[in-house]
Amino acid sequence: MPARFCETSLNARRQSSNPRSQRAYNAGARPQRLLWASTGTKDPKASDILYIKALASPFTVNTMPEETLKVLADHGEIGPVMAADGGDCEKVLAEFAKAGINVDALAAQLQDEGAKSFVKSWNELLAVIASKSAALKQPASTL
């Protein structure tokens, strides 16, 4: 997975460094930042900051869960950040393909699952807000 993200980051950086984008930035536009969403580690056998370390990159946004943020603070450092030129991501992606992994299909699946997860969370949040709002509208009980 980090290799696919590496490729995405590299493509975003290439796009943001083209002359058209540079003219827009010079005129006051702000660059679009790549978003790493919900980067907490789900596998208890893996490092608790696995994705934080793998996806550390300048000019990105990381929406890690609070517990992951606390663990990251305990670790103190994340180490080197992702190479600005994408590092060896093309080589890694070629190795994935050689191993029979369809990276595009995997990326589509992960995006679909991630979107469904965000919609579920959003709907849960709206339900909590509606419930609390309804409770506030109830007349106060008298003692």
Query: Are residues 71 and 37 both part of a single domain?
Result: yes
The pLDDT of residue 10 is 59
* CB-based contacts of 9, cutoff 8 Å, min separation 6: 34, 57, 60, 82, 86
Assess whether 63 and 129 both reside in one domain.
Answer: no
Residue 21 and residue 48 in one domain: yes
Domains held by the chain: number: 2
Are residues 81 and 59 part of one domain? yes
CB 61 within 8 A of CB 39: no
- According to DSSP, the residues that pair with 34 across neighbouring strands are 60
* Residue among 51, 33, 45, 31 nearest 110 (CA): 51
Q: State whether 68 and 107 are in the same domain.
A: no
75 and 124 inside one domain: no
Identify whether residues 73 and 97 lie together within a single domain. yes
pLDDT for position 95: 92
Q: Quick check: is 143 in a domain?
A: no
pLDDT tens across the length of the chain (143 residues): 455 555 565 566 666 677 888 888 889 988 777 788 778 888 889 988 888 888 888 778 888 888 888 998 998 788 888 776 677 878 888 898 999 999 888 888 888 888 898 899 899 999 999 999 999 988 876 55
Which pLDDT belongs to residue 125? 94
| Domain extent at residue 84 | 2-101
What integer pLDDT is reported at residue 133 of this predicted model? 94
| 22 and 74 assigned to the same domain | yes
Tell me, yes or no, whether 107 and 97 share the same domain: no
